Each structure stands twice: as C-alpha cells, then as structure tokens.
C-alpha cells in the first residue's frame, strides 16, 4: 500500500451480513414496487375503450430480396405466406391499438434490422433494447451463416422495465418452431413474466391465440379468445 494512504477499515462478518441483508431488502422492495406499478398499469389499460394494449408482440411478414429469382426463391418466405413491402408494414396503424404506456416487441431478421427500427419508430415507439434468439442450427446468409434473430424492444410512454433480479439474459437459446419462421413460445413466456396483468396482443399469430393474449393476422384463429 502506498505511503500515506490509510488502511481500509476491516469489516466483521456480522457487518458484512448486514450489508448483504440490506441489499437483498432493497432489491425485494424494488421488485415489489415494480410489480405494483405493473398491476396498476394493467388495470388502467384494461379500462380503456377500443381495445388498447400495453404489450404488442409483432412478427411482420418481411419481404426478402434475393440475388437470383431462379435460385433464391426456393426458400423464400413468400412460398409459405404472403409477404409485404416495408412501406406497407410501416403504414400499419399499430399505434392506434397501443396504450399510452406500451411496450413493443418486434421480431427482425439480420438483413431487416435497419428497416425494422424504422418500422418501430413509424409505429410511435422508441428503441430501448433487444434480445437475441440463438438457434440450434445454422441458417443461410450473405456475410455469414446466420444462427440468430433479433427481438427489438420499443417503448411508448413510461411502461415499467423489468425489476432488478428478474431480467432474462439477452441471448436466449431455443429450438426452431415447427413452421417456417415460427418463433419459440419461450419468448411469450418471458413477456408474460414481465407483464402478467397488462393486456397483450400478438400480431401475425398463427393459429389459436395463446391464453391471456389477443391475436391478429391472416393466419390467426378468429375464433380464439384472449
């Protein structure tokens, strides 16, 4: 130790235990406050007219550009479902169903990342963060062999972010869905953990809506109830 610098005070085991207990209490208090805010937000949004949602999960039908119409279309998404151009997706009135305090989870492939952020902003949200879905097998790509997709997070107003100690890792390993471009249900489970009482909708859902969610899209089951 350099001359003139006083030695740090020694901390007894009992003092260290008190520090740990205080930090644990602080985290628990923060989590409780966040849970209360989430519940109050859910109740407020549920009372709004015209089906406003505090959580929107969207998986747009991105149209991929290919280098060769002869060889590049055999795996193209349009062989499985109808795709849309970027301007059409940007003009979709998603902002009309967003509550004043709302979180948008927006799926994007690597090649659509820049336009996905444009879409996020066009819908009235600000970029906040993102998750990575790491797949178990390699896909295709131009600059690299893609093994992941991106789930962007956008916010409108002041929705509560996850409380300290409850956040999931930013990279989530999960198997591919059964259908082309289908996303793992584990991401919906994560969102449900973060927002158990807030009204939620999944855009471009395939089949029956997940319990507790509303669903919209060409392949969504219209008879499904949230």
Domains of the chain: 14-216 (3.40.50)
The pLDDT value recorded for residue 138 is 82
User: What letter would DSSP give residue 91?
Assistant: T
The pLDDT value recorded for residue 23 is 66
Q: Which of 1-10, 39-48, 208-217 has the highest mean pLDDT?
A: 208-217
- Where are any strands of DSSP class E within the chain? 53-58, 98-108, 126-134, 148-156, 171-173, 200-203, 213-216
Q: Comparing 24-33, 145-154, 216-225, which segment has the lowest mean pLDDT?
A: 216-225
The pLDDT value recorded for residue 220 is 65
Q: What is the per-residue pLDDT across 65-81, written as a single tens digit (0 to 9) for each?
A: 545 444 444 443 434 44
Dihedral, CA atoms, 225, 109, 76, 74, nearest 10 degrees? -130
The answer on pLDDT for 37 being more than 90 is: no
Q: Model-level pTM?
A: 0.75
The answer on pLDDT for 202 being more than 50 is: yes
Q: Which burial class, exposed, middle or buried, applies to 62 when counting CB atoms under 10 A from its CB (0-12, 13-18, 19+)? A: buried
The helix/strand/coil state of 80 is coil
Q: For residue 142, name the pLDDT band (cuts at 50, 70, 90).
A: confident
């Amino acid at each position: 130790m350099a001359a003139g610098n006083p030695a740090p005070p020694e901390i007894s085991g009992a003092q260290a235990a008190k520090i740990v207990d205080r930090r644990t209490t602080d985290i628990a208090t923060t989590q409780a406050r966040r849970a209360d805010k989430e519940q109050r937000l859910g109740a407020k949004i549920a009372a709004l007219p015209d089906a406003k949602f505090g959580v929107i999960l969207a998986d747009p039908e991105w149209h991929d550009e290919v280098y060769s119409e002869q060889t590049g279309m055999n795996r193209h998404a349009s062989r499985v479902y109808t795709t849309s151009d970027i301007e059409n997706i940007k003009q979709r009135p998603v902002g009309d169903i967003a509550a004043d305090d709302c979180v948008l989870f927006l799926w994007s492939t690597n090649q659509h990342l820049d336009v996905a952020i444009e879409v996020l902003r066009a819908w009235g949200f600000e970029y906040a963060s993102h998750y990575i879905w790491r797949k178990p097998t390699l896909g295709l790509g131009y600059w690299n062999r893609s093994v992941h997709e991106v789930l962007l997070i956008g916010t409108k107003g002041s929705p509560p972010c996850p409380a300290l100690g409850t956040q999931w890792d930013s990279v989530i390993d999960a198997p591919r869905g059964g259908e082309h471009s289908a996303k793992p249900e584990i991401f919906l489970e994560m969102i449900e953990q973060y927002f158990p009482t807030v009204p939620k909708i999944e855009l471009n859902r395939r089949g029956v809506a997940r319990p507790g969610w509303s669903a919209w899209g060409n392949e969504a089951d219209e008879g499904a109830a949230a």
